[in-house]
Structure 1
Amino acid sequence: MDNNNMRRDIKTFALTMTGLGSIIGSGWLFGAWRAAEVAGPAALIAWVLGTFIILFIGLTYAELGTMFPEAGGMVRYAHFSHGSLAGYISGWANWIAIVSVIPVEAEASAQYMSSWPFAWAHSLYNGTQLSAAGLLIAAILVIIYFILNYFTVQLFARVNTAITIFKFIIPGCTILGLVIAGFHSGNFTQYHGGFMPHGWAGILTAIATSGIVFAFNGFQSPINLAGEARNPQRSIPIAVIGSILMAGVIYVLLQLAFIGAVKPSMVSNGWDNIQLKSPFADLAMAWGLNWLALLLFADAFISPSGTGMTYTATTARMIYGMERNGYFPKVFGFVNPKVGVPRAAMWLNLVVSFIFLFLFRGWGSLASVISVATLISYVTGPISVMVFRRYSNEAVHRPFKIKGMQIIAPLAFIMASLIYYWAQWPLTGKVTLIMVIGLPIYFYYQAKSNWEGFSKDLKSGLWLIIYLLYMAFISWIGSSKFHGINIIPYGWDFVVIIISALIFYTWGVRSGYLTKDLEDGYQMKQSKTDVH
């Protein structure tokens, strides 16, 4: 590997804690509140379904991660299976979604501070966005994440593991404290529409936009750090599957505690009108649990900071991976030989993080965009894994094979497509536009390489371009329950999405080909190098 000086220092437990640490970030501090706003008590169903859906998608990436155990793996799979165009779109979507998490986590910490019992703290957040002082605190946190990742992988892994263990303790205390202090079973059925005030549409929209998909995005971290895993073939599947399941249990219990602990007066105007700045901390203070409020205020720094620190590490590896695909300048592919960290990539992500920080000044303003952008990269995983299954081990080294992938992969693609639709118009159209904005970078680097193989890559990646445009169009003409113009009524829109997804899945799998990286025996060389 030309300039890959990354060190394989991360063990299975640390890699699992990296995934769990990424998932249990600001999502647990705000996700239960946002889901309850959208779906009411039925937010419980949204978290269970969300866990199940992400697990299906994660299984496809668990197999891919063992096949290509390298840094920034999430942005490389479509490049290997379909060439440069599909690889670029998938990588761009994934990078945009993940790099923007860094400032979101910092904003979450600053926003939680606004409920502190000090007059100056109340000015940090006005209920919609952070003030200048709040942004300054968030900016300082982003710099701290950067510093902790700048010097060594081992420092990052040790600090992250310690933080993640702490993350288990605080949610556990929150669940027990709120359930014991004041659990109202009547909250689940008695107020404004009962258990499902907005029906199934509310549950499905909550999965897509209230922070559920956003929360589970962290399962990617073990995959993007696979190049630094000591035993990737064993560690990656355990880390991906284990982190999703453990986080799912925690989130369901947190949602249960939140709904039960809300005081009846807080839902007098309906679940969608609950006014909270720091949801769990506000509930703790309402019940006189000052000790819990103090823990939550402390965790408002620790949980988001752990996730922000992890994403600072993984986004640097993603830029590294995109440079190796040929989409970024070579300087971003250089790994410092002394510390094993791609420092130039980290500097780029730091700049982009500050741009997002000042463009989107509240936790909620970015969570939906991040979720939908990530879904665009998710749809390529189920297709890529089935493309690689057509090849022998001479072309693709496959040390780990999940049984039933022929069923799991199309189901994962359908589920990702449905969540994309549930995100509602016009958000789906806006995120598609963001994908288009990134294409000039792709064409610039294609021109520099004399468009070698472009026609083949265009033909192979055409399914993804048409899929994105088609999904945005269906979202526009879809059910009014998902903010469409109701040409396709509710219920039938699901049928259309499922049938369409199967057609695009088949097209996508058949469009894959033995790309140059694989044809040159890339993976065989990679696997031999990685063993030593």
Structure 2
Amino acid sequence: MSTTRAGGPAATKVPDTGLKRNIGFIGLMWASAGSIIGSGWLYGADKGIIQAGPAAIFSWIIGGAAILVLALVHAELGGLYPIAGGTARFPHLAFGGVAGASFGWFSWLQAVTVSPIEVSAMIGYLSSYVPFAKGWLDDKTGVLTAPGLVAAVVIMIVFVAINFLSVKALANTNSAATWWKIGVPVFAILVLALFSFHGSNFGGGDGFAPQGLKGVLAAMPNAGIIFALLGFEQADQLAGESANPRRDIPRAVIGSVVIGLVIYLALQIVFIAAIPTSKMSGSWAHIGAQFLTGPFALVATAAGLAWLAAILYIDAVISPGGTGLIYFTATSRVSYGLSKNGYFPRIFEAVTNRGVPWFGLIAAWFIGCLCFLPFPSWQSLVGLITSASVLMYAGAPLAFGAFRKRLPDVERPYKLPGGQVLAPIAFIVANLIIMWTGWTTDWQLGVAIILGYVVIVLNRVLRLNSTPIHLDWKAAQWLPVYLIGLGLIVLFSDWGPLKNPPITFGWDILVVAVFSLGIYYWAINVAVSREEIERITEETAVRMEEDELMSEPGPAH
């Protein structure tokens, strides 16, 4: 159902039926910014200095640049195809069913695990500050106790209840929470800079960069820096409910990353400078360990700013809570999109009369609660989420390249300058971050990927969704080589378990870059044809229109 206008063909529009298009630019940007400003700001600065010392400042800069490149790619895609669960569905349009199912699963896996990690962060701060929450968290291990698990489940129920009020109510709730979430860290930055700034701290400990370049790079995934910057794609996930997606989605995606990076970078600087000189003995790992349970609140207390610490403890509940809330929304929209593509059971498309995918919300709650059992702490989930997120993001540059090659003359509301260069760079960056996460996390991600394929296969075998799937194995021939090849590079690199790896530090970056470029150009050259992209889009649109007619109320009786 392509349409044309002056200046060339227009992008194929895929209207998602059943979802209400009533979110404006502020709601979209706050959805992304609210996801970025979560528990990461409460923990990232402290874990950054433990990993890299004051050189963690460069970890934030490099990490922010990497995420911004990925966000720019998403901005063009989000404007071109403003569809619900866009991140999960771009590879489907470009490479067909096999690639679409794979990257869709990566997207859902990432989204469904964020709410539990944010709830864990909330409970961690509550247990150390609120009397009735004492005992919810084991002080020595940081693991949720039985009462803590009950509290976590209840908080997750509250998130579901707010989402059921409708997406408009959610956007209003999240916008209010995001104003607070952004205001508190900015206020903390100003107060600490004015009342407790010790410039000499940057040369203290065991040096500015005790672990060198490797420490700077490792801090991005392992100190939670990349995790902290995740979330810009929420505007893409809500594209099916945007009032003006072609205008608002690119601005919302780019704006949220800029806001997040500026705040996080300033937080890292003032955190280092605010540490009292009496706490500056020993290595940076030792210095940071003194503030593990509540970094900024403890630094404020040590600096004699108890009133600021009280505000930060309150924010330690609101900020993760707001992020957890919006990720419930994202998870249900991703599962909605995956069902539309035929990968998940058809029941995930069920919506309430307010346009809320109710089964997707319940499934997100159930799986999220299960995550508390094998991963009962904030730290135990962060590495897995980072790798899954970046692997999900890696599908966007590939789809970007395929659309630029197959649909060169299609009108793009936002066209990324230098996209032919930035897209392969974005793909390289995503794969480097996965490598820097390390083998211990990446093999766990591999297991999760296999489980996802089992779920998708069972969905077809048991005929839980009759939507036709065009597998397009030829267009996805690069995918197994990519997944297995990247895993082998990590295994045999300096980030793997081998004592004397054949791919040493420094060379590993070159190997990943060359490998990534090979996969990138292989993928875009075997992507489905223009006619196939339009056919898949048309097929999806017709199916949605049929669903809309079937959902219209009949005559009153």
Same fold (TM over 0.5): yes
CA distance, structure 2, for counterparts of residue 161 and residue 387 of structure 1: 35
Deviations 1:430-479 (A, max 9, x none): 2122111211222234445899776x622322312211111111111112
The residue that corresponds to 1:214 in the other structure is 227
What CA distance in whole angstroms lies between the structure 1 residues aligned with 2:518 and 2:18?
42
- Point out 4+ residue stretches in structure 1 off by more than 6 angstroms: 449-454, 481-484
Which consecutive residues of structure 2, in runs of 5 or more, have no partner in the other structure? Answer: 1-13, 546-557
Distance (Å, rounded) in 2 between the aligned partners of 1:231 and 1:117: 43
Deviation at 1:203, TM superposition (A): 0.8
Cα deviation 1:54-95 (Å, max 9, x = unaligned): 010111111111122121111111111111111111111111
Q: Which amino acid aligns with 2:147?
A: A
Indicate how the Cα distance of structure 1 residues 197 and 153 shifts in structure 2: closer, same or farther if over 3 A, else same: same
Where does residue 551 of structure 2 map in the other structure? Answer: none
1:99 aligns with 2:115: no
TM-superposition CA deviations, 1:331-379 (whole Å, max 9, x none):
111222x211100111111101100123211111111110001111111
Contact 2:394 2:427 in 1 (8 A): yes
Residue among 313, 332, 344 paired with 1:316? 332
User: Are 2:375 and 1:375 aligned?
Assistant: no
Shift of 1:230: 0.6
Any residues of structure 2 matched to 1:151-162 within 5 Å, and which? 151-162=165-176
Name the SS of the counterpart of 1:114 in structure 2: helix
Cα offset for 1:523? 8.7
Alpha carbons of 1:480 and 1:304: their partners in 2 closer, same or farther (altered >3 Å)? closer
CA contact (8 A) 1:323 1:329 kept: yes
- Aligned pairs for 1:226-237 (under 5 A) are 226-237=239-250
Q: CA RMSD in A?
A: 2.4
**Pair 1:141 & 2:155 matched:** yes
Q: Which amino acid aligns with 1:378?
A: Y
Of 364, 371, 387 in structure 1, the residue corresponding to residue 379 of structure 2 is: 364
The answer (yes or no) to whether the contact 1:16–1:222 under 8 Å persists in 2 is: yes
Shift of 1:125: 3.6
Matched with 2:507 is 492
| Contact 1:113-1:124 at 8 Å conserved across structures | no
TM-score (normalizing by structure 2) = 0.89
1:131–1:483 distance in 2 versus 1, CA, 3 Å: farther
1:14 matches 2:27: yes
CA distance in 2 between counterparts of 1:358 and 1:380 reads 30
Does the CA contact (< 8 Å) of 1:201 and 1:482 recur in 2? Answer: no
Q: Equivalent residue for 1:296?
A: 312
Q: After TM superposition, give the deviation of residue 520 of structure 1 in Å.
A: 5.2
CA apart distance, 1:509: 1.1
Which residue identity is paired with 2:242?
Answer: A
**Aligned-partner Cα distance in 1 for 2:506–2:31:** 39
| CA distance in structure 1 between the partners assigned to 2:185 and 2:83 by the alignment | 32
Question: How far apart, in 2, do the equivalents of 1:208 and 1:199 lie?
Answer: 16
Where does residue 183 of structure 1 map in the other structure? 197
Inter-CA distance 117–147: structure 2 relative to 1 (3 Å threshold): closer
Render the CA deviation track for 1:291-314: whole Å, top value 9, x for unaligned: 111111111111111111111111
Of 264, 284, 296, 1:280 maps to 296
2:188 maps to 1:174: yes
State the AA in 2 paired with 1:33: D
Q: 1:210 to 1:142 in 2, by over 3 A?
A: same
Question: Is contact 1:106-1:305 (8 Å) kept?
Answer: yes
The answer on whether the counterparts of 1:477 and 1:488 sit within 8 Å (CA) in structure 2 is yes
Tell me, in whole angstroms, the C-alpha distance in 1 between the residues paired with 2:163 and 2:404. 36
Contact 1:475 1:484 in 2 (8 A): no
Q: Which residue number corresponds to residue 411 of structure 1?
A: 425
Question: What's the % identity of the aligned pairs?
Answer: 36
Q: Is the 8 A contact 2:184 2:312 kept in 1?
A: yes
Q: Match of 2:522, as an amino acid? A: W
Larger CA deviation: 255-264 vs 50-59 = 255-264
Correspondence for 1:42: 55
Q: Name whichever of 268-277 and 428-437 sits farther off.
A: 268-277
Where structure 1 has 5 or more consecutive residues not aligned to the other structure, the ranges are: none
Post-superposition offset of 1:249: 0.2
Displacement after TM superposition at 1:525 (Å): 5.3
1:20-169 equivalences under 5 Å are 20-116=33-129, 118=131, 121=134, 124-128=137-141, 129-169=143-183
Distance 1:123 1:99 in 2: 23
Cα distance change on mapping 1:501 and 1:521 into 2, 3 Å: closer
Q: Residue 347 of structure 2 is aligned with which of 316, 331, 336?
A: 331
What is the CA distance between 1:484 and its match in structure 2? Answer: 6.7
* Matching residue of 2:550: none
Distance in 2 (alpha carbons) for counterparts of 1:386 and 1:280: 42
Once the two structures are TM-superposed, the CA of residue 483 in structure 1 deviates from its matched residue by: 6.9
Change (3 A) 1:517 1:419: same
Matched AA of 1:256? I
Q: Are 1:111 and 1:124, in contact at CA under 8 Å, matched by a contact in 2?
A: yes
Q: 8 Å contact 2:297–2:308 — kept in the other structure?
A: yes
In the alignment, the residues of structure 1 paired with residue 225 and residue 186 of structure 2 have an alpha-carbon distance, to the nearest angstrom, of 19
Within the alignment, does 1:436 sit opposite 2:450 as a pair? yes
Shift of 1:117: 6.9
* TM-score, structure 1 normalization: 0.93
Q: Which residue of 1 aligns with 2:3?
A: none
1:472 equivalent in alignment to 2:505: no
Please say if residues 115 and 282 of structure 1, whose CA atoms lie closer than 8 Å, have aligned partners that are also in contact: no
Distance in 1, matches of 2:495 and 2:168, equals: 51
Change (3 A) 1:521 1:98: closer
User: Contact (CA 8 Å) 1:50, 1:207: kept in 2 or not?
Assistant: yes
Q: Is the 8 A contact 2:87 2:237 kept in 1?
A: yes
Which one-letter code corresponds to 1:234 in the other structure?
R
CA shift digits 1:199-225 (9 cap, x unpaired): 111111111222122122210110000
Contact 1:111–1:125, Cα closer than 8 Å, also in 2: no
